[in-house]
Amino acid sequence: MKSSRRLGAIALAGMLGAVAPVKAQNIDLNRLFSIGRDAVTAVAGVSEQEEQTMGREIAGRMLGAAPLVNDAALQAYVNRVGRWVAVQGERPDLPWRFAVIDTPSINAFAAPGGYVMLTRGLYEILDNEAQLAGVLAHEIAHVVRRHHVTVMQKSAALSAGAQLAQRDNRSALVNNMIGTGAEVFARGLDKSAEYEADAIGVVLAARAGYNPFGLVDVLHKLAARGAADGSLALLFKTHPLPGERLEQLGAALTPALATLPAGRELDIRRVAAGAGPMRAAKPLPAGGARGLAEQQPAPPAQPPKGGSGIGIDPGQLLRGLFGR
């Protein structure tokens, strides 16, 4: 136990790179990490299946915090728009899931593996489908670039030294990564990841045929609301201020403006009158979704029922989360 703590401190010093109480000299971190193949896999390369398993766990928790808006046609609509935008990126065939969740907060979230959630508070201030596409495209960009995975990897790597002591316990290390997943939503990503997602989002929406400036419109809306708006509290805590994002996006967009097509704005589907949170214990996909669909939805990704893929025990995951 003592030695694992020391290793942890050494790994921490290595990751932080500079000012740390313990010097990492004479320690080859690569060699250190290569001791446990499982640890290396988890830290250096997360497979798509692992990403989906983690994302599904995180998405399930998010839905526990804020359930779906009980409007099947709306959810189906958002999935079609989102999937169409996602198809324009480098990971078109992930099992993408898009949701409008029932909270007045103005925010949107992306979890690894293709889960994108938009709050009702944000949805209701959108004017057109191009703005919806822009917001979804920003989140899709986080998934495509694996921004959250990177953050979780860093976090897990910080304690990789400790994990080496129990390297046969692969799930513990993965737990460690997922355990930080909720913190990713609460603390947010690097500013640079947000700016990158904005810049990619504009292009994905434009590729999909939408007015490229839908996301810019939404950032203007957020900027106009300002820090006093309680519904934006978490968003402002986890993202650079919208004014800064507009400035960065403006700088990135300016050289390309002449080449971007005008695109379409299109009417957005409104939330059904009276729709509240979806509350059924185990709700079936409502007829509205299938009624709209000409084809059956893609089969769902395998849920992490205790042992899929990397052998995650959900109970253990939750302990990992709350044990922090």
Site for other proteins in 27-86 (CB under 8 A): 56-57, 59-68, 72, 75-84, 86
Helix (H) or strand (E) holding 178: helix 170-179
Question: Minimum distance between the CB of residue 168 and other proteins, rounded to whole angstroms?
Answer: 26
282/267 Cα distance (integer angstroms): 32
List the beta bridge partners of residue 98: 116
At closest approach, how far in Å is the CB of 179 from other proteins?
A: 11
User: Which stretch in 6-14, 38-46, 146-154, 205-213 sits in contact with other proteins by CB under 8 A?
Assistant: 205-213
- Least distance (Å) between residue 173 CB and other proteins: 20
Q: How far is the CB of 6 from other proteins (least distance, A)?
A: 29
| Comparison of 163 and 248: residue with beta carbon closer to other proteins | 248
Chosen residue from 22, 27, 252, 272 binding other proteins by CB under 8 A: 252
Of residues 91 and 167, the one with the C-beta less far from other proteins? 91
Q: Does 199 bind other proteins (CB under 8 A)?
A: yes
Q: Which of 39, 54, 278, 310 binds other proteins (CB under 8 A)?
A: 278
Verify binding: residue 195, other proteins, rule CB under 8 A: yes
Q: Which of residues 172-191 bind other proteins (CB under 8 A)?
A: 182-183, 185-186
Looking at the Cβ atoms of 14 and 89, the one nearer to other proteins is: 89
Instruction: Name the DSSP class of 128.
Output: B
Contacts of 105 (CB under 8 A, 6+ apart): 66, 119, 121, 122, 231, 232, 233, 234, 235
Nearer to other proteins, 45 or 283 (CB): 283
**How far does Cα 114 stand from its chain's mean position?**
8
Q: Which of residues 294-313 bind other proteins (CB under 8 A)?
A: 294-298, 300-301, 303
Residue with Cβ nearer other proteins (88 or 163): 88
Q: Backbone phi, then psi, for 115, in 5-degree steps?
A: -95, 125
- Dump the DSSP string for 241-285: -HHHHHHHHHHHHGGGGGGS---B--BPPPPPTT--B---SSPPP
Question: Considering the complex, what minimum distance in angstroms separates the CB of residue 72 from other proteins?
Answer: 7
Tell me how far apart the alpha carbons of residues 295 and 182 are, in angstroms, rounded to a whole number.
34
How far, in Å, are 48, 60, 179 from residue 52 at the CA level?
A: 6, 12, 15
